[in-house]
Structure 1
Amino acid sequence: MRPPSILSLLLHLQLTWESSAFQDFIRQRNTEFALNLYQQFTDAEEKSNLIISPAGVTFALGLLQLGAKGETSAQLENALGYTVHDSRVQHLLQSTYGALTNSSHSPNIHLACGLFVESGIQLSPKFSEDTAIWVNGSLQRVNFGNPNETTTLINKWVGTRSRGNQHYAFYEKLGVVGSEIQNVISQPIEDSSPAQIAVISTMHFKSKWQNPFSLSETQHFKFTKADGSVIKVPMMYQVSEVNYGQIKTGGNQRFIIVELSYLEHTVSMFIIIPSERKQGLSYVEPHITAQTLSTWAKSMRRMKMEVFLPRFKVQSKFNLKTVLSTLGITDLFSPTKADFRGISEHEKLFVSEAIHEARIEVTEDGTEAAAATAMFLMKRSRALVFKADRPFFFLLRHLNTGTIVFMGRVMDPLE
């Protein structure tokens, strides 16, 4: 066998570099969309606990983009930063989808997308083919004219995809509906034709900490809320090696960031708080961008620390229509402007409801979450102390793909 020529090796290296650069580009776009999405929610919920699953929203919108045409497709592309009609994007997202659906080992992380289509609707053959990989054969025919039957079917699907734990089941609905679906849509949709298509995505995560907190070490400590009031909360405690950094921005704002790993180091939780106790999260959140997150993560250093983290449980439920419209995704909600000819050329389809719900619970043992979308270091002679005893921002990131699985903030651990 002839050895490869220098030209072929250089070509291989060039293609590898281009592939890596493209992957970084898509990951950055997904992170930017996640942060834009988060910002819209924080504007609406200024003083509340908050959690969202950007990955769940992104994949559901990507699924819809496969069938979008014209201005509807352009708006989705502008918001997401890419088009899934690009074969390279499809390949990368399918790879990411595969990584997020493998729950055969710890941590348990599972993303699933499903299509529920009204019986009698004729789907485009290409759309059926393209979505087959995304939904893993989860395309089901339903009768939206019978909301009770359809609700049972969808809830069963959600429960199965979230490993049977329906209490922590996340479901997010993007679909064309004309009547109320219990527990998913808060009120009936008036002046609309019967439901025709529902796009559902679920995200479930459950894992133990790489270094668990000891239950015997948990004590009630003071937590200072944004309004200055002080409450007592169950504060978990451990001494371990963690990734840690102190951040100083050009505007002289200073933050503290800690990374806590779950088993197998597949997913990590990043926690960010202002260095100054008097500064609120409003000093932190504007500085969190795709670029800064990447820079901070790469610049952190491993060191032994005392970590204080409150036990907390957060759940949020939002109507995505307002948020997505603010991000420029408007036409898909309009019966007259929506263009989903890529799904079916024989039906006039539009999205009438978009709901997002997510929950997370953090304890000494680990975390269970679900959703139904310039640094310098200081050395000291003893272990540094990280104490989340005031409002903080957090995110869970899948390290191999760079996907932000969940993100949010804790304003009151007892809320």
Structure 2
Amino acid sequence: MSKLTLVICFCLLLAAVIYATSDASENDNEVELLARLKRGARGGRRRNAGRRHSGRPRGEGEDDEEDTAGRGGRRRPWRRDRQGRRGHGQAPGRGNRQGRRGHGHRQGQAHARWGQPITSFASLPDRVQRLITSLVGAQNSFITNFHKEVGLPATDVVYSPFSIHQALTMTFMGARHQTAFQMKQALSLRGLGRRTRFAAKKLNQLLNNPGNATLKTANSIYLQPELDILQEFTDALGLFYQANISSFDWGHPAGPEGPINEWVSAQTNNLIPTIINQGTITRLTAMVLVNAIYFKARWQKPFTPEMTSEQLFRKTPNEQVPVQMMEVEADFKVGAVPGHAARLLELPYEDGRFSMLIILPDDEAGLTTIEDALTTDILASTLDTIIAAKLKVFLPRFKLETSLSVTQALQTMGMTRPFSAGLADFTGITSSSDAYISDVLHKAVVEVNEEGSEAAAATAVIIEVRSFAGMQPPSPVFRCDHPFLFFIRDNVSKLNLFVGKFSGGT
């Protein structure tokens, strides 16, 4: 064998060792935590074996691979800060330097950022691609059911299924038995189970590389200082969801809701100044889990402001309202929605990473039929088959805001036990058997104009305890002058960040 061959073989071997080492180091923290969680789970099962009711069904969520958040884990220590308030996991002598507004954030590398962003979906290992694809599919399945409860009855609406889903999957980590089973069913997590948190971490890393757009998503947890919380739960929140963890600040001028609303406002570029009204948090509120998302991007082919004019929008066959109608003529992808009398239009944002997808029925009365038959194929598969065409697009300039409790919608979708005091089982969060979800609040806003789109949303899961143009032929026209659905979508992961319906505004 020649020296050159030996050198080449040595270089290839060295490259393989370096790649394997870097891949292993990326997962060191996960492996260490999972080992600790599994030890806690085994210990918890031994300690609780004698206390389980013989007829109590075991939730399917506990049987999944990597179901490691046990009931017998260590409790998170609480120490008082310099102001006398309790802080979460603070070392002695290190008080809350920021005073009331700092409210005891845990710091650390995993909590400061999402980690290294993923620059390419194709570069991910096959198992990671499958995890992300499964989570996106679960969210699309969730949309098909959730939209029937929230979107279909509304005239105009916008919401972020990503935000709602992520806040609830954080909560799902601490659910047990039938509570876990119902949450898994409602969130369409049957194919993922406890691996949802791994998929969420990788998906968030993928979203952390938004190209020319601005996309921020963050999680934060606020706790009652007296809550006996499992350390494994807070560790998992930090590792998989990069959640900041703080205690309620009862001394804040705006009450304990003040720091939560300030955090949401900062994360959403002030588009959502409040998510929780003052007086919502009481001494029985154990925890509030919050997700926030913010998106802003310019159109790849902007609308010409001088072409915007007042035109009529046909809300119903018998009602028309004036809107500011934007106009642009360029090459766009457009196609039919299979099985429906409707067309699908893609309006890409700058650099093509994200797009707005518009489903426009052929007539103003056809949107209800599409919404009622909304499927994952419409939300995902058919979007990849649209073809390019020269098109003149008319789209209203609009701004939508939605604020609602989604509790009733989730209960209708089968999530009843998590909201039932005395029946809910969140012993993966706290040793108390009294914890239950009292409400799930959601706010979203979207503004669409000639330059692009800006959107934000926040979700709060509140957990309580019971105690405690030329000579060419004219281009085809896509005129959005009657009610339509729209989605803001990540073209890499196929994730639908925002879903909305415009019916003329208020």
Class of the TM-score when normalised by the shorter of the 2 chains? 0.7 to 0.9
- Partner of 1:7 in structure 2? none
**2:285 is paired with a residue of what secondary structure?**
coil
Kindly provide the CA deviation profile for residues 118-150 of structure 1, in whole angstroms up to 9, marking residues without a partner as x. Answer: 112232121011100344251001145978331
Shift of 1:288: 2.7
- 1:1-400 matches, within 5 Å, as 1=9, 20-45=129-154, 48-82=155-189, 86=193, 88-102=195-209, 106-143=212-249, 148-162=254-268, 165-166=269-270, 168-169=271-272, 181-182=277-278, 194-249=284-339, 253-275=340-362, 277=363, 279-346=365-432, 348-372=434-458, 381-400=473-492
Q: Kindly name which structure, 1 or 2, has the bigger radius of gyration based on alpha carbons.
A: 2
Judged with a 3 Å threshold, the aligned counterparts in structure 2 of structure 1 residues 78 and 172 are, in CA distance, closer, same or farther, namely farther
Judged with a 3 Å threshold, the aligned counterparts in structure 2 of structure 1 residues 84 and 111 are, in CA distance, closer, same or farther, namely farther
Shift of 1:382: 3.9
Cα distance in 1 between the residues matched to 2:499 and 2:125:
31
Cα distance in 1 between the residues matched to 2:235 and 2:337:
47
**1:372 is paired with a residue of what secondary structure?**
strand
Judged with a 3 Å threshold, the aligned counterparts in structure 2 of structure 1 residues 290 and 82 are, in CA distance, closer, same or farther, namely same
Shift of 1:194: 2.3
Cα distance in 2 between the residues matched to 1:270 and 1:113:
27
Equivalent residues of 1:171, 1:372 under 8 A apart: no
Kindly provide the CA deviation profile for residues 301-320 of structure 1, in whole angstroms up to 9, marking residues without a partner as x. Answer: 11221000000111111111
Shift of 1:346: 4.0
Cα distance in 2 between the residues matched to 1:279 and 1:43:
13
Which segments of 5 or more consecutive residues in structure 1 lack a partner in the other structure? 5-14, 174-180, 374-379
Kindly provide the CA deviation profile for residues 202-225 of structure 1, in whole angstroms up to 9, marking residues without a partner as x. Answer: 111111111111111101112111
Cα distance in 1 between the residues matched to 2:181 and 2:128:
24
Q: Which of 404, 407, 411 is matched with 2:499 structurally?
A: 407
Q: TM-score, normalised by structure 2?
A: 0.69
- Partner of 2:87 in structure 1? none
Equivalent residues of 2:132, 2:203 under 8 A apart: no
Judged with a 3 Å threshold, the aligned counterparts in structure 2 of structure 1 residues 279 and 220 are, in CA distance, closer, same or farther, namely same
Cα distance in 1 between the residues matched to 2:400 and 2:188:
29
Counterpart residue identity of residue 130, structure 1: A
Which segments of 5 or more consecutive residues in structure 2 lack a partner in the other structure? 1-8, 14-123, 460-471
Equivalent residues of 1:220, 1:235 under 8 A apart: yes
Q: TM-score, normalised by structure 1?
A: 0.83
* Range with bigger deviation, 403-412 or 105-114: 105-114
Counterpart residue identity of residue 141, structure 1: S
Higher RCO (Cα < 8 Å, 6 or more apart): 1
Shift of 1:240: 1.1
Kindly provide the CA deviation profile for residues 208-257 of structure 1, in whole angstroms up to 9, marking residues without a partner as x. Answer: 111111111101112111252122211000011111112341xxx32111
RMSD value, Cα:
2.7
Judged with a 3 Å threshold, the aligned counterparts in structure 2 of structure 1 residues 237 and 100 are, in CA distance, closer, same or farther, namely same
Cα distance in 2 between the residues matched to 1:86 and 1:158:
28
